A and B are shown apart, each in its own frame.
Chain A
Amino acid sequence: GAVVSQHPSWVICKSGTSVKIECRSLDFQATTMFWYRQFPKQSLMLMATSNEGSKATYEQGVEKDKFLINHASLTLSTLTVTSAHPEDSSFYICSARDSVGLAGLNEQFFGPGTRLTVL
């Protein structure tokens, strides 16, 4: 159990286009999901916290109009990179927090990541 999937696993797009990445919690409900970004040989940087049915909370320095987040259901959050540029090329990892956790721990599980390459 506790599986988080991401789709696609990799995507190549032209500069100026938009790309949507899906994050799904397969066997649990997630009121809260998180989007991280990882540059080559660097750490995971939290981009935003996504709450079901409300607006996402973005970390300082992250452009909310460029990285659109939609958390429309308890099992799905999407990240859309709008008007992508080569500098947006990165590894994007989502994470989902179990809404009904044992002993109130609300465990957090990570997806396998999506590699975005913008040409």
Chain B
Amino acid sequence: AQSVAQPEDQVNVAEGNPLTVKCTYSVSGNPYLFWYVQYPNRGLQFLLKYITGDNLVKGSYGFEAEFNKSQTSFHLKKPSALVSDSALYFCAVRDITNRDDKIIFGKGTRLHILP
């Protein structure tokens, strides 16, 4: 069965500093990996995805993520954090080789950007 782990419940970063939100995954086949952001009382906003190709994926709002197959990781990064980046971030995985092809989410990491 596929799974996603986000080891940090909360990450605090000073504005202007680089940020990293960690994610590791487990699938039997080749993973499709995603990052979503959720603001209070709102739905999910898609940030970026990895399907195949270049391991470094660039997404919305200056975010990027690096796929590392050997470490089964897909950490979200941004070179310079903004206060407006404060939100709840979800890593997700889809295993299309699985008969039950579905997107499974990590528990989420709350990002606090300190002014």
Residues of A within 8 A of B51 (CB): 105
Please determine whether A95 and B100 come into contact, CB atoms closer than 8 angstroms. Answer: no
Nearest-neighbour CB distance to chain B for A75, whole angstroms, equals 18
Please determine whether A93 and B44 come into contact, CB atoms closer than 8 angstroms. Answer: yes
CB-CB contacts below 8 Å: A32-79 with B? 34, 36, 42-46, 49, 57
Interface size grouping (class) on chain A: 10 to 19
Please determine whether B43 and A112 come into contact, CB atoms closer than 8 angstroms. Answer: yes
User: What number of residue pairs across chains A and B have CB atoms under 8 A from each other?
Assistant: 36
Please determine whether B42 and A113 come into contact, CB atoms closer than 8 angstroms. Answer: yes
Number of interface residues of B (CB under 8 A): 17
Please determine whether B102 and A112 come into contact, CB atoms closer than 8 angstroms. Answer: no
CA distance A110 to B94 in the complex (A): 14
A99: Cβ under 8 A from any B Cβ = no
Residues of B within 8 A of A45 (CB): 105
Per-residue interface assignment for chain B, residues 32 to 50, with 1 indicating a CB less than 8 Å from any chain A CB and 0 otherwise: 0000100001111010000
| Given A49-B102, A93-B43, residue A108 in contact with residue B108 (CB < 8 A) | no
Per-residue interface assignment for chain B, residues 95 to 115, with 1 indicating a CB less than 8 Å from any chain A CB and 0 otherwise: 000001011111110000000
A–B complex contacts, Cβ < 8 Å, 30 sampled:
A34-B102, A34-B103, A36-B105, A42-B107, A42-B108, A43-B90, A43-B105, A43-B106, A43-B107, A43-B108, A44-B90, A44-B105, A45-B105, A46-B102, A46-B104, A49-B100, A49-B102, A93-B43, A93-B44, A105-B51, A108-B94, A108-B103, A110-B36, A110-B43, A110-B44, A110-B46, A111-B43, A113-B42, A113-B43, A115-B41
Could you list which residues of chain A lie within 8 angstroms of chain B, going by C-beta atoms?
A: 34, 36, 42-46, 49, 57, 93, 95, 105, 108, 110-113, 115
